C-alpha cells in the first residue's frame, strides 16, 4: 500500500481507496494523495470535494486509478 501511495504522490496521479469510514461503512474514494503524516494520508477527496486526512489503518485497499491514467497518458 505504501508503495502505491508514494508512486501516486510522485506522479501526481489519483488512486482509488477502499476505506472504512467513521461510521464503519465501507466506501470507495478517488483521492489525489499528497502527504503522509505518520499513520495519516493527506489527500484531496473527489467525493467530498475537499482535502481530507485518511487513517492508514482504515484503508482496506489502494490501487491506481487506471481510467485517469489512460486519459492522461
Residue 57 DSSP one-character state: G
pTM: 0.84
Q: Using an 8 Å Cβ cutoff, are 28 and 19 in contact? A: yes
CATH of domain 2-66: 2.30.30.100
Q: Using an 8 Å Cβ cutoff, are 34 and 42 in contact? A: yes
Q: Where are the domains of the chain?
A: 2-66
pLDDT tens per residue across all 73 residues of the chain = 889 999 999 999 999 999 999 999 999 999 999 999 999 999 999 999 999 999 999 999 999 997 664 555 5
C-alpha cell at 47: 467525493
Q: What is the CA radius of gyration of the chain?
A: 11
- Picking from 67, 73, 56, the residue whose alpha carbon sits closest to that of residue 30 is 67
Amino acid at each position: 500500500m505504501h508503495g502505491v501511495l508514494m508512486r501516486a504522490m510522485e506522479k501526481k496521479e489519483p488512486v482509488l481507496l477502499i476505506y472504512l469510514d467513521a461510521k464503519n461503512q465501507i466506501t470507495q474514494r478517488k483521492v489525489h494523495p499528497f502527504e503522509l503524516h505518520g499513520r495519516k494520508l493527506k489527500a484531496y477527496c473527489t467525493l467530498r470535494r475537499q482535502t481530507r486526512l485518511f487513517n492508514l489503518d482504515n484503508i482496506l485497499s489502494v490501487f491506481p486509478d487506471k481510467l485517469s491514467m489512460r486519459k492522461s497518458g
